[in-house]
Amino acid sequence: MALLWALAVLSLLPLLDAQSPECANLMTAAPISNATMDWLSGKWFYIGSAFRNAEYNESARAIQAAFFYFEPRHAEDKLIVREYQTIADKCVYNCSYINIYRQNGTLSKFETDREHFADLLLSNHFRTFMLAASWNGTKNVGVSFYADKPEVTQEQKKEFLDVIKCIGIQESEIIYTDEKKDACGPLQKQHEEERKKETEGS
């Protein structure tokens, strides 16, 4: 799953309160406002992640490239998400929704009969964000990183690396995607043409 949701409701935020230089510039998104949801609207690329949880590591290693679209539903506290993932050189498409817990800055998604949670973390750089969580404390922490372009600047990457260091994960544990391996371009184009025809016909 491209968004790599957390496996439990335990929050990573207490760990981020540590007084370390790597944690200094990190901002949590609580509370999530309509403006935050609008900011998240549009196309995002999954850049990379680092997870101590074995199940999520396996999922991350399977994803060669991934991008997705967020479409906010303010009144419902939801984000519609259209995901395009390249796995084993094939495009996998999925349309679902994400629940927004506004007060604590948490996002969740139902998969495999479970609700998976992640804290939304905003960076100082426009058009990047991270999802973070922990499972049973520091032994199973994890962070995934997203940007509005398939390649990030060195400054954007440094912020991701700072968060990784902040929660005690080694840089060698990061798994990156490769946009050159994307196999979803044709399907995305097909979907865009179909949506355009639907809009013109309405």
The tens digit of pLDDT for each residue in 39-53 reads: 999 999 999 999 887
User: What's the distance, CA 96 to chain centroid?
Assistant: 14
Q: 16 near 111, Cβ under 8 Å? A: no
Of 99 and 127, the one with more pLDDT: 99
Q: How many residues does the chain have?
A: 202
Q: 3 near 46, Cβ under 8 Å? A: yes
Quick check: 124 pLDDT over 80? no
Which of 16-20, 22-26, 175-179 has the highest average model confidence (pLDDT)?
Answer: 175-179
- Structural domains present in the chain: 32-187 (2.40.128.20)
pLDDT-above-70 percentage for the chain:
81
Question: pTM, whole model, 2 decimals?
Answer: 0.86
Q: Return mean pLDDT, the chain.
A: 83
State the DSSP H helix or E strand holding residue 106, giving kind and residue range, or none if neither: strand 106-111
Quick check: 14 pLDDT over 50? no
Q: Of 43, 40, 58, which Cα lies nearest the Cα of 4?
A: 58
Q: Of 95, 100, 114, which Cα lies nearest the Cα of 32?
A: 100
Which structure tokens are listed for 160? Answer: 């991701």
Return the C-alpha torsion angle 5, 82, 114, 117, nearest 10: 30
pLDDT in the model for residue 24? 58
Of 168 and 4, the one with more pLDDT: 168
Q: Give me the half-sphere count of Cα atoms (radius 13 Å) on the Cβ side of residue 115.
A: 10
21 preceded by cis ω (within 30°)? Answer: no
Quick check: 7 pLDDT over 50? no
Q: Of 91, 78, 49, 82, which Cα lies nearest the Cα of 176?
A: 49
Read off φ and ψ for residue 121, nearest 5 degrees.
Answer: -115, 130
Quick check: 57 pLDDT over 50? yes
172-200: average pLDDT: 93
